Amino acid sequence: MTAPQLPPISLMSAYRLRIKRRRYLWRAFRARRDLRSIADNTAHIAQNDILVVVVLRNESLRLPYFLDHYRRLGAAHFLVVDNASDDGSFALLQREAQRGDLSLWQADGSYRDSRFGLDWSGWLLMHFGHRHWCLTVDVDELLVYPEMDQMPLPMLTDRLEQIGQTGFGALMLDLYPKGPLGAQDYRAGQDPTEVLRWFDEAPYRAVRQAPQGNLWLQGGARERAFFSNTPERSPTLNKIPLIRWHWRYAYTNSTHALLPRALNALYDGVKGQLPSGVLLHTKFLPEVVGKAAVERNRAEHFHTPSMFDGYYTQIEARPDLWHPEAQQYRTPEQLADLGLCRGFDEDVISLPSRRNQF
């Protein structure tokens, strides 16, 4: 099982990508000055620990389950940047840091001006993530994959190394409730899938973008509900969140794409042949209606925010995203049966761990 080969590019394109990567690395190095250390527990990070890197703002409702989910999955340490939260998230993170498995920084600057948080997370990956398996996610993303109950993250990364795969791609799958948005009840610490039970099985489409070779996967519930007339503007759904990191790597657009460009071959999309997972996207919890107005006014989440005012306005109107073809989420194995992720082939046998060979 090997990653697909990306189309060749010209020497000039390769040179430009190299300069682009160096520029992003410099931005990340420079961004260290924007981060104020609040709780530094990084001395507790062991050689083989799997790290979770996250930049957040005002996620007090999602944080308890998010942290619990990744702790149960086998993550060893959280590297968290709080971007001026004012809803209690910061105090919650300070309390969580007392456990010793979470380090916390505060950034008061513009999320948009920091390349939507990538400069901040890039510094943490560069400084702490080198040679570690690192999972870079948003608080509304919960990674699931086939056999995860028997194969936590340390076993998953061992198996990826056994087949020579240095990363793990995922479809970002929008979950939604049945009934108008905002009409449901959700309490902190609750499993979001108890409220957001539904998803779109199809359609999804993908192309490889030149010159970087990254996948561009679109479709699903948000395109159906909000971008049916402008599908080219619908959200990008492919991500490569889990990477055995090297300080020379750089995310270029959220976790949708990376440099060096060869890393983009680590995910081949829906119905693909490589092992992959799903990021359950819990954006549509009841608070989304109130947050839509806030984010529309802040204009921090899109390169051209005014183009997406209608998107936020539609959310504020509390639509019902459910439709008769909606699928009810049950297990990661269900998603694999639908071709939305893929487990390991049976001929991938269990070999001695290579995690001590960093």
Distances (CA, A) of 253 to 56, 140, 141, 262, 341: 16, 17, 16, 15, 22
Q: Are 78 and 137 in contact (CB under 8 A)?
A: no
Q: Could you tell me the end-to-end alpha-carbon distance of the chain, in angstroms, rounded to an integer? A: 23
Q: Which pLDDT score, from 0 to 100, does residue 348 have?
A: 44
Q: Which pLDDT score, from 0 to 100, does residue 293 have?
A: 82
Q: Which pLDDT score, from 0 to 100, does residue 307 have?
A: 65
Residue 350, φ and ψ in degrees, nearest 5: -80, 120
Q: Which pLDDT score, from 0 to 100, does residue 3 have?
A: 64
Q: Are 280 and 173 in contact (CB under 8 A)?
A: yes
Q: Each residue of 282-338: pLDDT tens digit?
A: 999 999 999 888 877 776 556 665 567 688 899 999 999 999 999 999 999 999 999
Q: Are 36 and 124 in contact (CB under 8 A)?
A: no
Query: Where exactly are the structural domains of the chain?
Result: 11-343
pTM for the structure as a whole: 0.94
* Listed range (92-106, 220-234, 283-297) with the worst mean pLDDT: 283-297
Give the residue, 181 or 299, on which the prediction is more confident.
181
**What is the pLDDT averaged over residues 242-266?**
98
Band of pLDDT at residue 273, cut at 50, 70 and 90: very high
CA-angle at 235, arms to 324 and 203, nearest 5°: 40
**What is the pLDDT averaged over residues 145-164?**
97
Rounded Cα distance, 323 and 245, in Å = 40
The average confidence (pLDDT) of the chain is 93
Residue 141, φ and ψ in degrees, nearest 5: -125, 125
Q: Which pLDDT score, from 0 to 100, does residue 319 have?
A: 97
Band of pLDDT at residue 355, cut at 50, 70 and 90: very low
Q: Is the pLDDT of residue 354 over 70?
A: no
Band of pLDDT at residue 159, cut at 50, 70 and 90: very high
Q: Considering only CA atoms, which of 144, 256, 140 is closest in space to residue 208?
A: 256
Q: Which pLDDT score, from 0 to 100, does residue 4 have?
A: 74
State the residue for tokens 């070999």. 351
Q: Which pLDDT score, from 0 to 100, does residue 353 have?
A: 39
| Core vs surface per residue 258-292: b (16+ CB within 10 A) or e | bbbbebbbbbbbbebebbbbbbbbbbbbbbbbebb
Q: Which pLDDT score, from 0 to 100, does residue 295 have?
A: 77
